[in-house]
Amino acid sequence: MNRPSAWLKYLNPNLSGTAAQIQQVVCFPHSGGAASVYRPLASELAGDAEVVALQYPGRQDRHEEPVVTDLHELADRIAAELGARPVPRIFFGHSMGAILAYEVAQRLGDAGPVALVASGRPAPSRLRLTTSYLLDDAALAHQVVWLGGTAAELLEHPEMRSLLLPLIRGDYQASETYRPRGDGPLSCALVALGGDADPVAPLDDLRAWSGHTTGPFRLETFSGDHFYLQNHWPAVADLIRSLTLVPKR
């Protein structure tokens, strides 16, 4: 039985399938994202794997908590939470979530995931120095809308904009001030995913993830931009099934 946690949201807790060798897929949202963005994936994987999404401080039911603006602090806190739950896992992270999943995997060591799926983010070795979190509100909102995603639609409403922008700014700060610690490569399988028209994570930057594991590596691309996932959840679920050895439907 899953104990209550502010950090972990069980999106399809009534797992009935027994074929999955990987019992749990832990999902790390992008900057400004909440656990609920992974509901489509949870629906696709119902009966195959339990999908658990991280709920970072500062959003939805944790909106009264301050946003964590240091990615290493966030990774420390998540690793402490997950370390008490030793089950076979895949980590899936998109954008900021990909780097965060990688850092949590580093901290967990042998208790870490059997596979890391890093989506829409250049590898840690392809660090790009950006400071979007220092933009004024109008410019930051423009950049978020340019990238697309759920937040772009919500930013059209003034009240939601006033609530979301501080959260997005804090996440951007965590993401953009991140610097790798210089740890060695992981040993788990690693899959890099991306949209073929993503301006944030070009293919060469995705391919560089291969240097961050001694385990098997592969690169998969989909049609679309930074938020290509919105149109490809069934295919992404099939990819995860291939990692869990669950047959495609």
Q: Is 52 within the bounds of a domain?
A: yes
Average pLDDT over every residue of 32-44: 95
Q: Is 132:143 a contact under the CB 8 Å cutoff? A: yes
Is residue 101 scored above 60 in pLDDT?
yes
Is residue 109 scored above 60 in pLDDT?
yes
Residues in Cβ contact with 28 at an 8 Å cutoff, skipping those fewer than 6 apart: 53, 54, 91, 92, 93, 94, 96, 97, 98, 100, 101, 104
Q: Is 112:26 a contact under the CB 8 Å cutoff? A: no
Q: Is 96:121 a contact under the CB 8 Å cutoff? A: yes
Distance, CA of 108 to CA of 83 (rounded, Å): 7
Q: Is 150 within the bounds of a domain?
A: no
Average pLDDT over every residue of 8-23: 66
Distance of CA 120 to the CA centre of its chain: 9
The CATH number of the domain holding residue 188 is 3.40.50.1820
- Residue, of 83 and 246, whose pLDDT is higher: 83
Instruction: Return the pLDDT at 3.
Output: 60
Q: Is 14 within the bounds of a domain?
A: yes
Q: Is 190:121 a contact under the CB 8 Å cutoff? A: no
Instruction: Return the pLDDT at 166.
Output: 93
User: Could you tell me which of 231, 244, 242 has the C-alpha nearest to residue 41?
Assistant: 231
Distance, CA of 69 to CA of 65 (rounded, Å): 12
Q: Is 239:191 a contact under the CB 8 Å cutoff? A: yes
Q: Is 67 within the bounds of a domain?
A: yes
Q: Is 178 within the bounds of a domain?
A: no
pTM: 0.92
Query: Catalytic residue positions?
Result: 95
Domain range for 239: 8-123+184-244
- Residue the block writes with tokens 């804090």: 170
Return mean pLDDT, the chain. 89
Q: How many structural domains is the chain composed of?
A: 1
Q: Among the residues of 109-209, which ranges form H helices?
A: 137-147, 150-154, 158-176, 203-207
Distance, CA of 3 to CA of 225 (rounded, Å): 37
Instruction: Give the phi and the psi of residue 244 in degrees, each rounded to 5.
Output: -95, 0
Instruction: Return the pLDDT at 85.
Output: 67
pLDDT digits (tens, 9 = 90+) for 54-84: 999 999 999 999 999 999 999 999 999 998 6
Q: Is 53 within the bounds of a domain?
A: yes
Q: Is 148 within the bounds of a domain?
A: no
Q: Is 219 within the bounds of a domain?
A: yes
